[in-house]
Amino acid sequence: MLPPAQLRWHTLAHAEPGSRLIITGAVHGIETCGTRAIQRLLAELDRGELALCRGQLTLVPVCNPLAYAQGRREGEGDLNRKIAVRDAPASFEERLANQLAPLLLAHDVLLDLHSFQSPGQPFVVLGPDTPFVRAADEVALARYLGVSRFVEGSLIRTERVVPPPGGASMANWMRAHGKYGLTLECGQHADPAAPEVAYRAIRHTLAYLGLVDEPEPAAAEAPLSVRFRQTILRRSEADQFSRAWQSFDAVQAGELIGTFGDGSVLRAEADGYLVFPDPLCKVGAEWVYLADAGTRFTD
């Protein structure tokens, strides 16, 4: 196992210029599907079963080695809210961010591989509505990752491209600097299919960007896209959902979503969808996201 204070990445570069892609796993330590998919790809590259034909590829199997070693989502904080360069980093994740932030900016494109708590189908998280330079490129690549569900707009409470003072997500750090990045939620943490979803997305991305000599993958058919609208935080340990919700479950106006510990209820204010329902999240953390129908995949 990687020592908990050691960050390791692998970079391959071809003499022929092309896109510069970075692929990251285990930004959260319990989300290991990306780690397994990246390790599988590394083995294929080492055996010569796959080779770059142009451009540059960097693979980071474990972005948070402390959380990964502990089998926890976070070490001392959420790395995916901490990406920035600091003169005086105050936590393990901030010290990691000082290494990861410039590494990310040495690339054009990010594929960040994650998983989630509740059962559900994999989906891609696109950038916020705030315009950024590579927005069209981001949407174009999203169609080819091998999934058909999409969330439009940042899932971070402050929806903007400019990094907030506390730091940005991996993908928003890229967007803020004229690049682009996609976050792929590959399935439930323990879903045995999630590493395969991650691996397929890696291979499709390599082919789509022309970094390997393989046919362009097929685009998503009948995409279902929703647009992030509101974050609901967990207020107490007694908060309970009305049923076992999954991401992309549709809700009707007035439908009961959950009950808070003080007896007040959460109902849908309008027809829409739920994203990332997490019955086990910490108090004060994101309990569920409310979403409307999306607009970026209308063709």
Which tens digits make up the pLDDT trace of 42-90?
999 999 999 999 999 999 999 999 999 999 999 999 999 999 999 999 9
**Measured distance CA(161)–CA(173) in Å, rounded:** 8
Which pLDDT value is given to residue 2? 60
Q: What is the pLDDT of residue 159?
A: 40
C-beta separation of 17 from 55 below 8 A:
yes
The pLDDT tens digits of the residues spanning 241-274 come to 999 999 999 999 999 999 999 999 999 999 999 9
Whether 160 shows a pLDDT value over 60: the answer reads: no
In this predicted model, which residue has the larger pLDDT, 104 or 120?
104
CB 268 within 8 A of CB 254: yes
pLDDT at 128: 82
Residue 156 pLDDT > 60? no
Give the largest Cα separation in the chain, rounded. Answer: 64
CB 231 within 8 A of CB 281: no
Reported pTM: 0.91
Mean pLDDT, the chain, rounded, equals 92
- The neighbouring-strand residues paired with 266 are 258
| More confident call, 284 vs 5 | 284
Residue 154's pLDDT band, with cuts at 50, 70 and 90, is: low
Res. 162: pLDDT tops 90: no
Task: Report whether 253 contacts 269 (CB < 8 A).
Answer: yes
Amino acid making up residue 157? R
Mind listing the pLDDT tens digit for each residue in 194-235? 999 999 999 999 999 999 999 999 999 889 999 988 999 999
The residue among 91 and 163 whose pLDDT is bigger is 91
**Residue that has been written with the tokens 């059962």 in this structure:** 119
Q: What is the mean pLDDT of residues 96-112?
A: 97
Mean pLDDT of 119-131: 88
Average pLDDT for 159-187: 85
The C-alpha atoms of residue 25 and residue 191 are separated, in whole angstroms, by 16
The pLDDT assigned to 132 comes to 87
Looking at residue 201, its pLDDT comes to 98
CA distance 263 to 185: 32
Percent share of the chain, pLDDT over 90: 83
Which range, of 40-49, 150-159, 174-183, 241-250, averages the lowest pLDDT? 150-159
Q: What is the mean pLDDT of residues 19-44?
A: 98
